[in-house]
């Protein structure tokens, strides 16, 4: 990914993609204390491009940094503008945007005190994370043998770099066995989230999702689904969910900036509902794509034009 044309915003400068490099003694590379965001820009109905819920993503990035006791040396406005600028500079009609903040290479003791804090924003074209087919037919998920972080081990409301070792292990474990994505349980055995997605299940017309005490990230797509459900007159209940409740659900789906709204058709080789994208999931998915694509004026304020 590094050897290509394009521009990356790095510490306030727009630099050539190939030159966006850091030193091997970078603190975050050794100890994993850093934070990032995953943001998407979509082509909109008016022919332009807009970043979806830009302010909320930037807010979460600053909150992640706060939790990790890192002081980002830029304002939120500067970080918003950096994200717009990379999409513009790389002439992207739609994009996945990756802001990342990290601790520098001034010293390598575990304590980051006295070290520098950096920020970069890159953007590139990235299609459906779990595949176009997955969006239509649903994906096959397996419960991972790895437990999701306990809320007092790593900080689960931070989108912290180090949290993703857990996601990588879970994802590799199940994709090696031919599944599309992993579901992780919390340390008490309740459903938490996917390796990079929040989960929703539907039973008898009611939508359920784990409350955040299960260690799931407070997803921005998750929140978007709360709004969509309200508009559709559907109830959402946040509660502890067991894995067998998922087995007997009528429908289930994952949400995430990368994964968007992806139906789950199978968990642990048990078909969920009819074993395909369910009707409520389809409605929510279609409402989601209308919103991000600028076809729902009610949510025009969520679209930051490039
Ligand atoms: N949980 C995890 C672990 C994630 O990595 C993501 C993706 N950021 C999500 C949930 C979904 O969050 P969002 O909808 O804000 O992208």
Mutate to test the pocket of ligand 1, among 40, 168, 197 (most ligand atoms within 8 A of CB): 197
What CA–CA distance (Å, rounded) separates 225 from 148?
A: 23
Gap between the Cα atoms of 4 and 18, Å rounded: 6
Give me ligand 1 centre to Cα 198, in Å: 6
Give residue 137's domain range: 132-292
Specify whether 168 is located in the same domain as 246.
Answer: yes
Q: How many CB atoms are located within 10 Å of the residue 274 CB?
A: 12
Q: Determine the residue of 58, 63, 181, 198 to mutate for testing ligand 1's pocket, defined as the one with the most ligand atoms within 8 A of the Cβ atom.
A: 198
286 in the same domain as 175: yes
CB atoms within 10 A of CB 59: 16
Structure confidence at residue 260 (pLDDT):
97
**Same structural domain for residues 270 and 137?**
yes
Q: Are residues 150 and 112 in the same domain?
A: no
Q: Is the CB of residue 144 below 6 angstroms from any atom belonging to ligand 1?
A: no
Instruction: Count up the domains in the chain and report the number.
Output: 2
In a shared domain, residues 275 and 144: yes
List pLDDT tens digits, range 215-229: 999 999 999 999 999
Predicted local distance difference test score (pLDDT) of residue 77: 98
Residue 200: per-residue pLDDT: 98
**235 φψ region: left (φ > 0), alpha (ψ -120 to 50), beta (else):** beta
15 and 151 share a domain?
A: no
Where the chain has pLDDT below 70, the residues are none
Point out which residues pair with 39 in neighbouring strands.
97
Q: Considering the domain boundaries, does residue 162 fall inside one?
A: yes
What is the pLDDT at residue 44? 98
Looking at 124, 154, 177, which one is the last position of a domain?
124
Question: CB of 198 closer than 6 A to ligand 1?
Answer: yes
pTM given for the model: 0.97
Do residues 96 and 147 share a domain? no
**Catalytic residue check, 159:** yes
Q: Kindly state whether residues 270 and 201 are assigned to the same domain.
A: yes
- Confirm whether 305 is domain-assigned: no
CA dihedral 98, 147, 162, 9 (to 10 degrees): 0
CB distance 34 to ligand 1 below 6 Å: no
Q: CB of 266 closer than 6 A to ligand 1?
A: no
Q: Is 262 in the pocket of ligand 1 (CB under 6 A)?
A: no
According to the model, what pLDDT value does residue 186 have?
A: 98
How many other CB atoms are found less than 10 A from the CB of residue 259? 24
DSSP state letter for 275: S
In angstroms, the CA 67 to CA 160 distance is 9
DSSP string for 165-215 = HHHHHHHHHHHTTT-SEEEEE-TTS-EEEESS-EEEEEETTEEEE--GGGS
- From 215, 219, 291, the mutation candidate for ligand 1 (largest count of ligand atoms within 8 A of CB) is 219
Task: Report pLDDT for 30.
Answer: 98
User: Domain for residue 2, yes or no?
Assistant: no
Are 99 and 157 found together in one domain?
A: no
Report the complex ipTM.
0.99
Q: Among 89, 105, 124, which residue terminates a domain?
A: 124
Q: What is the distance between the terminal CA atoms of the chain, rounded to a whole angstrom? A: 24
Task: Examine residue 300 and state whether it is found in any structural domain, yes or no.
Answer: no
The total of other beta-carbon atoms located within 10 Å of residue 149's CB is 22
**Same domain? 225 vs 277:** yes
Place of tokens 């949400």: 255
Which burial class, exposed, middle or buried, applies to 223 when counting CB atoms under 10 A from its CB (0-12, 13-18, 19+)?
middle
Residue 198 CA, closest ligand 1 atom number: 10
Within 10 angstroms of residue 88's Cβ, the number of other Cβ atoms is 15
* Shared domain check, 253 and 180: yes
Instruction: Check whether residue 119 and residue 140 sit in a common domain.
Output: no
Last residue of a domain, one of 100, 124, 148: 124
* Class of residue 255 by CB neighbours under 10 A (exposed 0-12, middle 13-18, buried 19+): buried
Distance from residue 265's CA to the centre of ligand 1 (Å): 20
Q: Provide the CATH number for the domain around residue 61.
A: 3.30.470.10
Residue 181, beta-bridge partner list: 141
d(CA 254, ligand 1 centre) in Å: 10
303 in a structural domain: no
Q: Tell me if 239 sits within 8 A of 211, measured CB to CB.
A: yes
Residue 123 per-residue DSSP state: E
Nearest 5°: the CA angle 110, 112, 116 is 140
Tokens of 4: 């290509």
164-174 tens-digit pLDDT? 999 999 999 99
């Amino acid at each position: 990914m590094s050897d290509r044309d394009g521009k990356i915003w790095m510490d306030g400068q727009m630099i050539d993609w190939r030159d966006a490099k850091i030193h091997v003694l970078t603190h975050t590379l050794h100890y994993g204390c850093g934070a990032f965001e995953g943001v998407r820009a979509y082509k909109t109905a008016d022919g332009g491009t807009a970043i979806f819920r830009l302010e909320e993503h930037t807010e979460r990035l600053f909150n992640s940094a706060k939790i990790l006791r890192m002081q980002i040396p830029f304002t939120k406005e500067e970080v918003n503008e950096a994200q717009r600028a990379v999409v513009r500079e790389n002439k992207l009609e739609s994009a996945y945007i990756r802001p990342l903040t990290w601790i520098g290479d001034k010293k390598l003791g575990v304590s980051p005190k006295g070290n520098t804090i950096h920020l970069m924003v890159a953007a590139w074209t990235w299609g459906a994370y779990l595949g176009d087919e997955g969006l239509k037919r649903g994906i096959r998920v397996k419960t991972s043998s790895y437990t999701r972080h306990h809320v007092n081990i790593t900080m689960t409301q931070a989108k912290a770099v180090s949290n993703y070792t857990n996601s990588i292990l879970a994802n590799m474990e199940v994709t090696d066995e031919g599944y599309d994505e992993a579901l992780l349980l919390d340390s008490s055995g309740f459903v938490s989230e996917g390796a990079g997605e929040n989960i929703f299940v539907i039973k008898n017309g009611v939508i359920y999702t784990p409350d955040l005490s299960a260690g799931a990230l407070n997803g921005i797509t998750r929140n978007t689904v709360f709004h969509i459900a309200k508009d559709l007159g559907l109830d959402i209940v946040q509660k502890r969910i067991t894995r067998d409740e998922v087995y007997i659900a009528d429908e289930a789906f994952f949400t995430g900036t990368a994964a968007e709204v992806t139906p789950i058709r199978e968990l642990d080789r048990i078909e969920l509902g009819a074993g395909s994208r369910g009707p409520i999931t389809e409605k929510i998915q279609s409402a989601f794509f209308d919103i991000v694509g600028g076809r729902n004026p009610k949510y025009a304020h969520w679209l930051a034009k490039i």
